[in-house]
Amino acid sequence: MPALWTVLTVVLGTWPAEALIFHLNESEYQRMPPLFGLDDYQVCLSEPGGLYCLARLDLYAEPDNQLMRMIQEYSAVVSKHYNHTALDRGICVRRTCADYVGNRTLNRTELEEAISACVNHEILRQYGLKAHLSRLYYCDGPGGNTIDNADVLDWCVAGICAAFITASILGTLYDYVLNFYHEDEKQRGNKYLLSFSAIRNWQWLVTADHGDPRLERLKGFHGARSITNVLIVFGHSISLMGAGFIDSPHTFENTYEQTPYRIIYNGLTIVQVFFVMSGFLFVYNYLIRTEKTKASWKAIPVIMLIRWWRLTPSYAVMVAFTATWLRFLGTGPLWNLYVTSGVVADCRTYWWHHLLFIHNYFPNDKFCAVQSWHIAVDTQLFFVGLLVYVLTRKVARQVMLGILLVLGIVLPALQVWFYDLDGMMLLAPEFLRTMESDTFHYLHVYGHTNLAGYVVGMICGELIYRWQTDGHKITHSLYTKGLWLVVPAIIALLYSGQGFYADGERASLPVRMVYASTNRLVLALIAAFGFIGVVMKSKTILRHLMEWRGWLVPSRLSYSVFLLHFNFIFLLLGLKTSMSPVSYYYMALWHLGITALSYIVAVPFFLLVEAPLNRLMKNILTNFSHLSSNGEVQLPKQEKTQFSRC
Ligand SMILES: *[C@@H]1O[C@H](CO)[C@@H](O)[C@H](O)[C@H]1NC(C)=O
Ligand SMILES: *[C@@H]1O[C@H](CO)[C@@H](O)[C@H](O)[C@H]1NC(C)=O
Ligand SMILES: *[C@@H]1O[C@H](CO)[C@@H](O)[C@H](O)[C@H]1NC(C)=O
Ligand SMILES: *[C@@H]1O[C@H](CO)[C@@H](O)[C@H](O)[C@H]1NC(C)=O
């Protein structure tokens, strides 16, 4: 049979694809050198002249080495295996490599050679393979990697934080005194200072908006936003396990064989729910606000500025903190890798990309506020949507929406074709380890590849606005029954991507292209279907669940939580001193811990930074509009529901 197969493939002109190994049993797996290793950090540095180095080593061997071939064939299954030819090691140099180093002082080149020779010797002895040092990340001397001296930047950021706290204290005291002496003159007083009052901001946090009944209909979005946010934090917590330095990489790789995990790993598409929500909110609010006064093109910069101001201050404070004080919060063998040279260094270099919301187009920025790519996408799509809505009317607008939708379907497919990407973002182990993935950078996070969800949201907003204006109601029982299917349908869609993890050759290019262009669209359509039900007040459990009063506060905090949670992940990664365990319960625990911590820290963050600056902006703009009063720009009455909020 094999001979026949070879003959056939030669005749047909296709050689069998490179052999792949999809599964190894435990005993075979143990034949490979362990992927990760960490010598004891504290003990190492407490010794005289202690030196601890973190290194990446590449395995190599003679071409006919059977074990090496096995490792390569196993690692070639990139969707669910680590690259086992690259090892990460934390090495206590004076101990582990005593024979090569002794107690000489070495310069960098000598040190690299010594470590390379030392590890090579060990791997050769135990596994019969050779290893050479491909990257020496850093070495920590006796002091560890604690940083004692803050620089100018650090003190600037500290000053800004202190200013926020002072302003809040002053504002709160002022508010308190004002309330005490003039009980019925609450409107008096300096409203700029009152923007900082924690009392008022707290009230704002816990009180539902009252106003235009059409905007009140959107309260179901609080539920959708909170749930999606918690799910996203959950997805990100996986990187605590996947990033490496785990005691059993095999167990982690085996999770890719289980259906529940595959659904979770495919869950990155969930973010489309946010885009649908954003597109919807933008159009719906826009149409309501421009009922009386039409917006002209002159409004575009002002609206963009309002949006920028609403999103940026809290974001900037988070990035500034990450770029400065985060690195003082801990130490450990991996602290430098994940925190100081990882997220902190990237935030120092690329902070201004973040403030302009263009960082999703810069793949070099791997770690700084990774999660916020979707805020950038949202801003870019918002700009596109705004251009379409301000500059076109009626038929032209519909044509433009149609064109954008077609682009949203075609562009992801083209992107897959140009860069030979996967059909969807696969949360592959090696991506979690290195944060490098072409599919992530060239398909997942670009603005133009996420157009479809946003446009579906915009069309949905247009439809609902019209139905409400016409007094149209959705009472058809088929529709209300259909709403039951929203959640199962989303799960089914996520499940559909599991084929990309199946054993076998990589899916063919056309399949990947079709999947890339349709899966976001389908998820967006399902989400839009659900939103229509919620906003049109269909009588279903789904709506009641989404409109539950308890979602209000988590939903208001969701932006802060979204900004903050990733730093906890980096913190936990950097604080590791030994291999962490792989198990469902640990993952659940980490997720709950990170979610809880993020929400707890989000409350002061919201009261001190996000809410005051939003209200300050609103007050300034109100004044500004009194002065100019050209009536062109309708100012937000309640910024909570103003446009989209991620
Ligand atoms: C693992 O697989 C190898 C080769 O397939 C086989 O020889 C060995 O007996 C297996 N070990 C166990 C414990 O099943
Ligand atoms: C694994 O890593 C090595 C060295 O870093 C690299 O040469 C190789 O291409 C990688 N293998 C895969 C399948 O990515
Ligand atoms: C290290 O240096 C000390 C003196 O500086 C010497 O006494 C000792 O023997 C040396 N140890 C080794 C392993 O070379
Ligand atoms: C390190 O030391 C070796 C030998 O002592 C010397 O040849 C080499 O130039 C040094 N390298 C650097 C970068 O100083």
Residues 220 and 97 in one domain: no
Percent above pLDDT 70 for the chain: 91
For residue 426, is pLDDT > 60?
A: yes
Residues 354 and 455 in one domain: yes
Q: Is 23 in the pocket of ligand 1 (CB under 6 A)?
A: no
Residues 132 and 215 in one domain: no
Higher pLDDT, 607 or 10: 607
In the prediction, which pLDDT does 183 show? 62
Q: Which of 105, 110, 111 most suits a substitution to test ligand 4, by most atoms within 8 Å of the C-beta?
A: 110
CA of 40 relative to ligand 4 center, distance in Å? 29
- What pTM, to 2 d.p., does this model score? 0.88
pLDDT bin (cut points 50, 70, 90) of residue 323 is: very high
Q: Is 158 in the pocket of ligand 2 (CB under 6 A)?
A: no
Given 118, 140, 162, which residue is the final one in a domain?
A: 140
User: Does residue 348 fall inside a structural domain?
Assistant: yes
User: Does residue 199 fall inside a structural domain?
Assistant: no
User: Per the structure block, which two tokens stand in for 57?
Assistant: 């080593």
Instruction: For residues 606-633, give the mean pLDDT.
Output: 71
Q: Is 105 in the pocket of ligand 4 (CB under 6 A)?
A: no
In the prediction, which pLDDT does 12 show? 42
CA of 27 relative to ligand 2 center, distance in Å? 23
For residue 421, is pLDDT > 80?
A: yes
User: Does residue 169 fall inside a structural domain?
Assistant: no
Helical H runs in 106-258? 108-127, 152-181, 191-194, 198-206, 213-216, 220-242, 249-254
In the prediction, which pLDDT does 87 show? 95
Residues 370 and 229 in one domain: yes
In the prediction, which pLDDT does 639 show? 36
Task: Point out the ligand nearest to the CA of residue 107.
Answer: 4
Q: Please state the atom number of ligand 2 nearest to the C-alpha of residue 58.
A: 4
Domain count within the chain: 2
Residues 87 and 224 in one domain: no
Q: What is the pLDDT of residues 185-204, one digit of tens each?
A: 556 677 888 888 888 899 88
Task: Point out the ligand nearest to the CA of residue 104.
Answer: 3
Percent above pLDDT 90 for the chain: 54
Task: Point out the ligand nearest to the CA of residue 79.
Answer: 2
Q: Whose CA is nearest to atom 9 of ligand 4?
A: 109
Q: Please state the atom number of ligand 4 nearest to the C-alpha of residue 108.
A: 13
Given 113, 140, 167, which residue is the final one in a domain?
A: 140
User: Does residue 24 fall inside a structural domain?
Assistant: no
Q: Please state the atom number of ligand 4 nearest to the C-alpha of residue 107.
A: 1
For residue 559, is pLDDT > 50?
A: yes
Helical H runs in 486-633? 486-496, 509-535, 541-546, 552-556, 558-575, 584-605, 611-628
Q: Is 58 in the pocket of ligand 2 (CB under 6 A)?
A: yes
Separation between Cα atoms, residue 389 and residue 26, nearest integer Å: 59
Q: Is 102 in the pocket of ligand 3 (CB under 6 A)?
A: yes
For residue 634, is pLDDT > 60?
A: no
How big is the chain by its Cα radius of gyration, in Å? 28
Q: Whose CA is nearest to atom 5 of ligand 3?
A: 103
Separation between Cα atoms, residue 13 and residue 7, nearest integer Å: 10
Task: Point out the ligand nearest to the CA of residue 108.
Answer: 4
User: Per the structure block, which two tokens stand in for 41?
Assistant: 């950090």
Q: What is the pLDDT of residues 55-87, one digit of tens each?
A: 999 999 998 899 999 999 999 999 999 999 999
Instruction: For residues 88-92, give the mean pLDDT.
Output: 94
CA of 58 relative to ligand 2 center, distance in Å? 8
Instruction: For residues 100-119, give the mean pLDDT.
Output: 88
Task: Point out the ligand nearest to the CA of residue 106.
Answer: 4
Residues 112 and 210 in one domain: no
Task: Point out the ligand nearest to the CA of residue 23.
Answer: 1
Mean pLDDT score of the chain, rounded to an integer? 86
Burial of 80 from C-beta contacts in 10 A (0-12 / 13-18 / 19+): buried
pLDDT bin (cut points 50, 70, 90) of residue 471 is: confident
Residues 439 and 363 in one domain: yes
Q: 3-class DSSP state for residue 644?
A: coil
Task: Point out the ligand nearest to the CA of residue 110.
Answer: 4
In the prediction, which pLDDT does 186 show? 57
Instruction: For residues 460-485, give the mean pLDDT.
Output: 82
3-state secondary structure 45-78: HHCCCCCEEEEEEEEECCCCCHHHHHHHHHHCCC
User: Does residue 376 fall inside a structural domain?
Assistant: yes
Residues 117 and 258 in one domain: no
Given 112, 140, 168, which residue is the final one in a domain?
A: 140
Residues 267 and 121 in one domain: no
Question: Which whole-number Å values give the CA distances from 229 to 268, 440, 462, 553, 595, in the listed order?
Answer: 12, 20, 25, 13, 10
CA of 83 relative to ligand 2 center, distance in Å? 6
In the prediction, which pLDDT does 18 show? 63
Instruction: For residues 106-115, give the mean pLDDT.
Output: 90
Q: Which of 21, 22, 23, 28 most suits a substitution to test ligand 1, by most atoms within 8 Å of the C-beta?
A: 28
Q: Please state the atom number of ligand 3 nearest to the C-alpha of residue 103.
A: 1
Instruction: For residues 4-26, give the mean pLDDT.
Output: 60
Q: Please state the atom number of ligand 3 nearest to the C-alpha of residue 98.
A: 13
Q: Which of 23, 24, 27 most suits a substitution to test ligand 1, by most atoms within 8 Å of the C-beta?
A: 27
CA of 104 relative to ligand 3 center, distance in Å? 9
CA of 245 relative to ligand 2 center, distance in Å? 18
- Residue type at position 429: P
For residue 643, is pLDDT > 60?
A: no
Q: Whose CA is nearest to atom 9 of ligand 3?
A: 103
Residues 128 and 261 in one domain: no
Burial of 294 from C-beta contacts in 10 A (0-12 / 13-18 / 19+): exposed
Which candidate, 89, 84, 87, places its Cα nearest to that of 139? 89
User: Does residue 349 fall inside a structural domain?
Assistant: yes
Residues 499 and 600 in one domain: yes
With both helix axes pointing from N to C terminus, report the angle between 272-289 and 373-391 in degrees, rounded to the nearest 10: 30
Q: Is 28 in the pocket of ligand 1 (CB under 6 A)?
A: yes
Which candidate, 646, 228, 231, 246, places its Cα nearest to that of 432? 246
Q: Which of 103, 104, 105, 106 most suits a substitution to test ligand 3, by most atoms within 8 Å of the C-beta?
A: 103
**Residue 244 per-residue DSSP state:** S
Higher pLDDT, 454 or 7: 454
User: Does residue 19 fall inside a structural domain?
Assistant: no
User: Does residue 15 fall inside a structural domain?
Assistant: no
The parent domain of residue 102 ranges over 31-140
Residues 237 and 128 in one domain: no
Q: What is the pLDDT of residues 54-63, one digit of tens each?
A: 999 999 999 8
For residue 644, is pLDDT > 70?
A: no
In the prediction, which pLDDT does 187 show? 60
Instruction: For residues 595-609, give the mean pLDDT.
Output: 94
Instruction: For residues 425-438, give the mean pLDDT.
Output: 91
For residue 375, is pLDDT > 60?
A: yes
Q: Whose CA is nearest to atom 5 of ligand 2?
A: 86
Instruction: For residues 487-513, give the mean pLDDT.
Output: 89
